[in-house]
């Protein structure tokens, strides 16, 4: 006789586990079905993405250069303030030694009078408040005490200044480290994309870049535009001597350069000191709004945030350090990748 017992039902906990597992399996299956297999980017697509990353790296490089320049200035300023504090402390010690000699002389002659006791107080301000009631203070003593007061105030201000600058230096060093990581991250990302190319594709891109570097250096018609000035001519000549030198972020010569590193180095060879970064260089000299008014040696700025700068070479060409993977070379202003904003005549 067949058994009519009801089959045993699974426990509620087991049902929950099975239901969750089934739902997860369905979700995974759906995602797998919807996710298209990753397609390999073409050589041109990789190049476009890499060029964009290099542009972003150059922008971060200018910010890195700015932080580096600020760090150097702060270190010099801190050193100067600390030297001033040290000299001021020596002067203060000598003033106090003079008061100590006065106290010693009075002690030997019969004791230190109240005025001198207050004179040696650790709080000269408190002394002056009380000293107004002491007739025995001489004008010479009052003058000496005021010198101590002035020196103490001066030292306090200089110490506060040094403290503020040290805090600013610490913040600048942090910023410098962050910008360096940002640049390195962009370059690493670009290299990762390049690594997805085949050996043949890499060779083709490298050959194309080499042809661009050679052609821009060997067969460029610069026309006959005059230099903006004698020093502009000297700066341009110095930059010409570096054609073929590699772009390296943060570099300012003499063997490698970033964009503003080249322009600041070139003008330094002409005996002219200009700021280190492109944004700071944009705020010097005389602004030239129209490209048709540019002369050889003028600084030329590109992109809305002014993160790229070069030297005008004539005939619509500039001499510059373009970006990672390139060398110092001539290039048409129309192929920079960003709009011409204005020029600056130094």
> Is residue 207 one of the residues assigned to a domain?
no
**pLDDT digits 0-9 by tens, 134-155:** 444 566 667 777 888 888 888 8
Q: How many domains does the chain have?
A: 2
Concatenated DSSP letters for 53-68? HHHHHHHHHHHHHHHH
pLDDT for 191: 92
Rounded Cα distance between 205 and 197, Å, is 10
Q: How many CA atoms lie within 13 A of 250 on its CB side?
A: 13
Rounded Cα distance between 147 and 214, Å, is 70
- Do 162 and 278 lie in one domain? The reply is no
**pLDDT digits 0-9 by tens, 242-258:** 999 999 999 999 999 99
pLDDT for 5: 46
Mean pLDDT of the chain: 81
Most confident region among 107-116, 214-223, 247-256 by mean pLDDT? 247-256
- Domain containing residue 162: CATH number: 1.10.287
**pLDDT digits 0-9 by tens, 263-306:** 999 999 999 999 999 999 999 999 999 999 999 999 999 999 99
For the cut 90, the answer to whether the pLDDT of residue 3 exceeds it is: no
- Do 186 and 227 lie in one domain? The reply is no
Q: Is the N-terminal amide bond of 254 cis, ω within 30° of 0?
A: yes
Q: Active-site residue numbers?
A: 259, 308, 320
> Is residue 319 one of the residues assigned to a domain?
yes
> Is residue 318 one of the residues assigned to a domain?
yes
Check if the beta carbon of residue 308 is closer than 8 Å to that of residue 320.
Answer: yes
- In which domain, by residue range, is 243 found? 223-345
> Is residue 217 one of the residues assigned to a domain?
no
Check if the beta carbon of residue 251 is closer than 8 Å to that of residue 263.
Answer: no
For the cut 80, the answer to whether the pLDDT of residue 62 exceeds it is: yes
For the cut 70, the answer to whether the pLDDT of residue 120 exceeds it is: no
Q: Which pTM was predicted? A: 0.69
**pLDDT digits 0-9 by tens, 182-217:** 999 999 999 999 999 999 988 888 888 888 777 666
Concatenated DSSP letters for 148-198? HHHHHHHHHHHHHHHHHHHHHHHHHHHHHHHHHHHHHHHHHHHHHHHTTS-
- Do 235 and 173 lie in one domain? The reply is no
- Do 189 and 230 lie in one domain? The reply is no
Assign 21 to helix, strand or coil: helix
- Do 153 and 243 lie in one domain? The reply is no
> Is residue 88 one of the residues assigned to a domain?
yes
- Do 255 and 178 lie in one domain? The reply is no
- Do 151 and 190 lie in one domain? The reply is yes
């Amino acid at each position: 006789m067949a058994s009519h017992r009801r089959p045993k039902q699974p426990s509620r906990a087991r049902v929950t586990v099975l239901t969750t597992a089934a739902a997860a399996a369905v979700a995974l299956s759906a995602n797998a079905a919807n996710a298209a297999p990753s397609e390999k980017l073409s050589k041109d697509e990789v190049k476009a993405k890499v060029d964009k990353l290099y542009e972003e790296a150059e922008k971060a490089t200018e910010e890195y250069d700015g932080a580096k320049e600020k760090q150097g200035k702060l270190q010099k300023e801190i050193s100067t303030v600390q030297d001033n504090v040290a000299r001021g402390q020596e002067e203060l010690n000598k003033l106090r030694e003079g008061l100590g000699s006065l106290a010693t002389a009075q002690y030997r002659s019969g004791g230190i009078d109240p005025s001198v006791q207050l004179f040696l107080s650790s709080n000269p301000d408190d002394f002056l408040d009380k000293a107004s009631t002491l007739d025995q203070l001489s004008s010479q003593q009052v003058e000496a005490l005021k010198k101590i007061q002035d020196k103490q105030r001066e030292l306090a201000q200089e110490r506060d200044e040094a403290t503020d600058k040290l805090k600013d230096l610490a913040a600048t060093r942090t910023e410098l480290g962050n910008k360096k990581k940002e640049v390195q991250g962009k370059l690493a990302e670009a290299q990762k994309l390049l690594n997805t190319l085949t050996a043949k594709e890499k060779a083709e891109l490298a050959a194309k870049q080499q042809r661009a570097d050679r052609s821009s250096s060997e067969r460029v018609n610069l026309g006959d535009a005059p230099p903006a000035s004698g020093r502009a001519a000297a700066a341009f000549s110095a930059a010409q001597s570096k054609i073929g030198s590699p772009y390296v972020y943060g570099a300012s010569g003499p063997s490698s350069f970033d964009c503003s590193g080249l322009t600041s180095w070139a003008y330094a060879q002409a005996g002219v000191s200009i700021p280190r970064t492109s944004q700071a260089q944009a705020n010097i000299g005389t602004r030239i709004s129209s490209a048709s008014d540019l002369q050889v040696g003028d600084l030329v700025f590109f992109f809305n945030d002014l993160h790229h700068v070069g030297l005008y070479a004539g005939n619509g060409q500039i001499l510059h350090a373009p970006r990672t993977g390139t060398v110092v070379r001539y290039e048409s202003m129309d192929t920079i990748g960003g709009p011409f904003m204005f020029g600056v005549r130094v």
